[in-house]
Amino acid sequence: MKILVVDDEASILETAQHNLQRAGYTVITAADADEALKRFHQTPPDLIVLDVMLPGRSGFDLCQMFRAESQVPIIFLTAKGTEDDRVKGLELGADDYMVKPFSMRELVARVKTILRRTHDDKSDEAIKVRDIVIDTVKHQVKKGGASVELTPKEFALLLLFAQNAERVLSRDTLLDRVWGADAYVGLRTVDVHVRWLRSKLEDDPDNPERFITVRGIGYKFSP
């Protein structure tokens, strides 16, 4: 699998490339946004490791450009660790967030975890819930026959809900199962992603009938 690493610090590029290659990945590097876009189009990656602070365009800007064309998983790297920065990155469609300095061992572990979640298909059959069809092989979702674009995290969250229909799932459970126990995100992240699923899959997002809030606990998916 191919990993695109985008960072203007040469030492991080070199070290990340070395460690990811040792883990068996093909690594493509870029030191700025323009080079990253060029590499992205030349050799579409399976995952992107993206620094927030880049010369010219920011990593946030670049993430929006990637998301306009692809749902490839993205891990943000940043020197800032505030909740607002993490939420902003996740709201733009990132899948994970690592604060500098970090260990390369942890980076490799997170890359493996995300790729395993996005490529390890548990079933070769589509899951049908009323007018929603979840294709676990192609990672595609249709509602009423029309394709619905979901980020990898939105897809994983929807799949978990569909596999546990009518069961109340706490925010902690959703966070652990979709983002991982060691993810540096808070419970607010779950609420944000449920809101996105409602906007894409509810007939009336302001009065949800599928993704039901269970006050004080979490959510349940009602077919």
Among 51, 44, 48, 43, which Cα is nearest to 7's? 51
Given a cut of 50, is residue 89 above it in pLDDT?
yes
Among residues 117, 107, 115, the alpha carbon closest in space to that of 20 is found at 107
How far is 129 from 223, CA to CA, in rounded Å? 6
| Separation between Cα atoms, residue 174 and residue 7, nearest integer Å | 31
Q: In 126-213, which residue ranges form alpha helices assigned H by DSSP?
A: 152-163, 171-174, 187-201
pLDDT tens by residue, 175-188: 888 887 556 677 88
Q: pLDDT per residue over 137-155, tens digit each? A: 778 899 988 999 999 899 9
Euclidean distance between CA atoms 100 and 59, whole angstroms: 15
> Under 8 Å CB-to-CB from 111, ≥6 apart: which residues?
3, 20, 23, 25, 47, 49, 75
Domains of the chain, earliest start first = 2-119 (3.40.50.2300), 127-221 (1.10.10.10)
Between residues 210 and 184, which one has the greater pLDDT? 210
pTM (predicted TM-score): 0.56
